[in-house]
Amino acid sequence: MVAIRFEQIAIEPGERVILRRVDWSRFEAILRELGDDRNTRIAYFDEVLEIMAPLPEHGINKESLGDLVKILLEELGLGCIAIGSTTLKKLKQQA
């Protein structure tokens, strides 16, 4: 196994890196290493980790969609708290 620090990897906007056979503890360690203040998006499922650097257009689309949701909720009289992006984690249960 080759150990690579994530600071050694440069992911350009629109590109992605896929890592296979990443167990849960390694996934947690990678999240800690990357930190909360990052410009990449992380997806993890079934020991496959995908790290993606979004294009600038994704930010524009995100803002437009967020504005639309805020207007809709306001019209429906519902409250909303914008928390930005977050990582949702649930450890797979063993059979």
> Would 56 be classed as within a structural domain?
yes
Report how far residue 82's alpha carbon sits from residue 44's, in angstroms, rounded to the nearest whole number: 23
> Would 95 be classed as within a structural domain?
no
| Number of domains the chain is built from | 1
The pair of structure tokens assigned to 35 is 């930190």
pTM above 0.85, yes or no: no
> Would 45 be classed as within a structural domain?
yes
Domain, as residue range, for 46: 9-76
> Would 82 be classed as within a structural domain?
no
Radius of gyration over every alpha carbon of the chain, rounded to an integer in angstroms: 17
Dump pLDDT digits (tens) for 14-49. 888 899 999 999 988 888 888 777 778 888 999 999
